[in-house]
Structure 1
Amino acid sequence: MKHLSAKLVGAAFIASLGAEAAATEWNVSVWGKRRAFTEHVEKLAELVSEKTNGEFTMNVSYGGLSKNRENLDGISIGAFEMAQFCAGYHRDKNRVITVLELPFLGVENLEQEVAVSKAVYAHPAATEEMAQWNAKLLMTSPMPQYNLVGTGEARKTLSDFEGMRVRATGGIGNAFAAVGAVPTSVTATEAYQAMEGGVVDTVAFAQHAHLSFGTINQATWWTANLNPGTVNCPVVVNIDAYESLSDEHREALDSSVQESLDHYLANYAELLGRWDSVLAEKNVEKVEIADDVIAEFRAKAADPIRDEWIKDMEAQGLPGQELYDLVVKALADAKM
């Protein structure tokens, strides 16, 4: 009987090892708090767990694993399996996707932002550059065109922008610099303190971030239609972790991406639908910039910055013109 009991215990132990081996647990590094910007990550975790009966789970951490500027580094060394980052945080590490941050590209909505991001993410140059960081581009975090909040008298002309200290990263920061503003690239989580402490006069964000990071609470005005551009913030996975997934778990992950993006878009549409009521509630003036001012802004910022970006990428051995043309084509196709 003792021999039989030992055999049964041994079999149970081996079975438990097999069950444990079949389970997959990923850590996911994001920042801030749960908000519209992270809803696709949360939905992805939910869907993957459902499709695998709880065998593949994701622990989404809001700042507990890494600082937002260090998420790509964390992915590269395998500190966690998935992360979200923004291209403007370290442009030298993700040069290819910065084409999506060029000002005044003409993207009109989030669906179009998804389309152009997918096209660039699928380009071999993007795949190869991310592979240097052991990262695979999984999905974008589409955001509307950025607009300013500020205090004091509203800035409505290009001359008003001269000397304006603005929290703006990437191509948006370059655009404001082109008209005499002084951009600073403090992170999203630092923006409120920068505004409160007078380090910046204005902050450029999408609507959800003005809410999530509290900048709207200090604002007296908001530019409704400046629309200089947006930032590109991918969700990436560690290549080794991705390739070590079982076929079943990899399929659960891959097949959940589009549904997660659809959920994100639907959730963001609700936020945009109530934005005017948010402005009224917080007594924030909705400023409409004149068409001729926007045209002047575009003339000074769009073409020169685009041409310089292409020249810079080509000098580094990257297909700058090809990438820009890809964005133009993908955008045109999305608008059809």
Structure 2
Amino acid sequence: MEEVMDKAMDQKTSQKTKPMTMTMIQALRSAMDVMLERDNNVVVFGQDVGYFGGVFRCTEGLQQKYGTSRVFDTPISEGGIVGVAIGMGAYGLRPVVEIQFADYFYPACDQIVSEAARLRYRSAGQFIAPLTIRMPCGGGIYGGQTHSQSPEAMFTHVCGLRTVMPSNPYDAKGLLISCIENDDPVIFLEPKRLYNGPFDGHHDKPVVPWSKHPLGEVPEGYYTVPLDSASIFRAGSDLTVLAYGTMVFVSEAAAKESGVDAEIIDLRSIWPLDLATIVASVKKTGRCVIVHEATHTSGFGAELSALVQEHCFYHLEAPIERVTGWDTPYPHAQEWAYFPGPGRIAAAFKRTMEA
């Protein structure tokens, strides 16, 4: 009987589903909706995610549909949220928790680093921590120093964690479903500037959380996007751009402005990394520019630069460039100058092409 039911479920989920135009917020909500319906072990919780639907409305309506035992609010305790999720995961559930802003993860750092990331190894595989930690990240809403950070590099340093950052609704939904089904703890970073779109790389106004502008075509039902797989966002032959999140679109704007035929690689999975796609592109173009919103020193771009140098040294025709945020505390009033913009990136393209 169980085999018949499993076969019926596989047939149901393998059917093609009608694509819908969605924002990233709607795509993320759809992913959680699909998984809550598909797997009774999936639970969603965090600050204000239940009745209120989340500060950015990513979980709006899910509590009303699935009840307070599966979608619920928590106290303001990030350490408590992640600690409970680790215990749930070890018990057999698949928790999806929201840290309201990435800047708030620090109180949960010990739980993430010392417990979630190490549980499988320290228990010799007897226990796992299949939790997904969603975090809105980056600037663009004039949130100041405590609502605008991009801490992805910190997570990539921790063995046992996966770190993901989508740039579009299709990837956001497919990647989130893959993360929920994965047995490893995943840091799922969501760029706030891309929540509502559309975004052409020149957007210079704060994102309005309740706007309904479409950004992409997304299948209505179940599908996945492979983890550890980058995508070629824009094919080109002059140089390779390594970017993720919001900076994918800013790099595209720079390519259009400068006339440089840039091949833009959207990493999607920041760690583990799709090194093969990166190496193939850099060996083809002979030049590499790395772009991210986080600060320059010890940003993930430094690791990318080292990897490109190690694997592509004899194919490089120019020094590797990095275009990043400033090495300063996050500037509240000057955040649009802090971000790498099309002008700064285009200037890096020019230096690379002329070297």
Q: TM-score, normalised on structure 1?
A: 0.26
* Larger-Rg structure: 1
* Larger relative contact order, structure 1 or 2 (CA cutoff 8 Å, min sep 6): 1
Q: TM-score, normalised on structure 2?
A: 0.25
* Higher-strand-fraction structure: 2
